[in-house]
Structure 1
């Protein structure tokens, strides 16, 4: 339960919605009245007396909404602000916000994911940096904010046991081809959901990737970065499976039952269906139609399949710069983060190279006559 309690009041002015908050009904009404007067006099954003809540709304409207951000990105700003920032400082004037307050908001998220705390800090830094640039405040309280202790979650490769079960379940499960496509090509789930049969180039033996389903919706968009646009050569087994399932050029490879594009929720449900069958195949116990004792690892996710494609490239000796292109990573550092994960098989195979070197030393030095 939140430790912050407040009353919200809103008003629409010149086509834009403004919201104020107060600890009591009377305080909220008073702030709304002050806001209305400020709007009428055209002085909402002229000083540090502007409430943080009002500044956030104006900042997002003026600086973020026109920046061609996705709907999900704008929702992320709202989610971080409304749940964590506004309850703590939303009713304060900008000039009264200090770094210790912002740091306290971050510290309250101790133990949360690295992604969450970094995004929360980003929102605070962006909105207060702009307030400083707009000369609404004399200093930027977001400078030097430190992340609290957090959990940096990462995906892993599937084990050989998991791979064997996945390959078996994929033979009969309705989503089997979809799962194998991601495993054998490293596509992101949103990229796979946007594929049409015309994107499968059997003549060139390539999958043309140039669009993806926007996270949080069923809209198809171009990839986040130019690196996402790529042509992935097909492995022979994947080509065979796709050829067997070949459909009309402009039809989706993996549509919903209504023939539409799967959104994020649909993709998640598709994986949950496959994961449940995989769980049973691995020995899970079912009672009254529900799994009572799981056999599947709790950290086995859909993205583990994409991660596995990358580690398979490493195991096969594919150069990291080539892997970067195939994965659609914008930076080789992202690929390197996967390539540097510990893999005992790779460690053993590389140590065996030293055995070969030892054998060459055992033969003794090469004489001049050996080189003629």
Structure 2
């Protein structure tokens, strides 16, 4: 039941639902907006804010816009997103909106879009997508609708108040020392699998390995520069949707970095350079190899030696774990990996600290 004099109700799922007048339809019927929360006080506070916003917004009329969410999204992507971001980022935004949002609610008129539409969309996504993917999609949608607000096409963002699923902490999958030795033994004599060795000894991402050129390697100072990454992205042409390989700068300023290399890796690189006919370190004759070719080669090896549960990205985690085991501090490892912050590194590798934590606590043992 609602509390006396208030449009706040307790739902069967345990949440509180607050209802407020959002506007009126052309036929005069009231159009309601809804707020959800697990605490009554939170919903009540949000309703007070909504009433204040409505009083403020009533004084300014929305610009007339008859377009659908699909029309607005395409305009937003082409006008405000494409000129400011990398082609890979644009392709990612467009794919998220096309596949997961517009295919389901794109036909709804922008100014008729309600929070309940997005709640239904979320429920559909929740059936097949991970929490992290859902949050990523809603982040793009929220930005898209936020721009409509700034242009006075919407008074509020329907994404606000939609309760997104919580993400679970990722667990790092790194090879044990025994499994790493087994892998190295299998690939050590075949240059076709040199990309695997590079990942194990540098922690480079798969796209960074594909984009590595000989000009990036300083053999005098034994360093390797990460200056670009190779990706396969979705594009569109007159024939319809397809994919293409693009070469872009690393994902962030921290990703563009220099990594010291061991004497063994330096020796292996020099041997490979003698027979190379390409500007790329990992190549197919003259062209750079693409990420899925490298991933496929790793798939062949891992099945052969019984490491099916590991992905190519596990090699990056393995590098970081070996650095931790060798006594590396978190700031240094974060820099080697090109993480945006030490917090990101700590979040990824907390489990890898367990041995060190045990050793530390044992030193505190009272005699």
Cα RMSD after superposing both structures: 2.5
Spell out, residue by residue over 1:247-301, the C-alpha distance to the aligned partner (whole angstroms, 9 max, x if none): 4797211112x411223xxx22323223323322x2xxxxxxxxxxxx3233x01
Aligned length: 294
Asked if the contact 2:257/2:338 (under 8 Å) is kept, the reply is yes
Secondary structure in structure 2 of the residue aligned to 1:86: helix
Secondary structure in structure 2 of the residue aligned to 1:108: helix
Distance 1:182 1:250 in 2: 20
Residues 316, 53 of structure 1: alpha-carbon distance in 2 compared, 3 angstrom cutoff: same
- Counterpart of 2:294? 270
Asked if the contact 2:212/2:227 (under 8 Å) is kept, the reply is no
Secondary structure in structure 1 of the residue aligned to 2:121: helix
| TM-score relative to the length of structure 1 | 0.72
- Counterpart of 1:203? 220
Asked if the contact 1:85/1:105 (under 8 Å) is kept, the reply is yes
Asked if the contact 2:203/2:316 (under 8 Å) is kept, the reply is yes
Spell out, residue by residue over 1:102-129, the C-alpha distance to the aligned partner (whole angstroms, 9 max, x if none): 1221222225223311221012201111
- 1:255 matches 2:279: no
- Counterpart of 1:121? 138
- Counterpart of 1:166? 183
Distance 1:144 1:239 in 2: 54
Looking at secondary structure, tell me which structure has more strand per residue: 2
Distance 2:301 2:231 in 1: 27
1:14-163 counterparts in 2 under 5 A? 46-67=63-84, 69-110=85-126, 112-148=129-165, 153-163=170-180
1:330 to 334, 340, 343: 340
Spell out, residue by residue over 1:186-225, the C-alpha distance to the aligned partner (whole angstroms, 9 max, x if none): 1111111122223221210111222222453433222121
List alignment gaps of at least 5 residues for structure 2. 1-61, 234-243
2:311 to 298, 301, 310: 301
Distance 2:171 2:91 in 1: 24
Residues 329, 150 of structure 1: alpha-carbon distance in 2 compared, 3 angstrom cutoff: closer
Asked if the contact 2:172/2:349 (under 8 Å) is kept, the reply is no
Residues 218, 83 of structure 1: alpha-carbon distance in 2 compared, 3 angstrom cutoff: closer
| TM-score relative to the length of structure 2 | 0.73
Asked if the contact 1:113/1:152 (under 8 Å) is kept, the reply is no
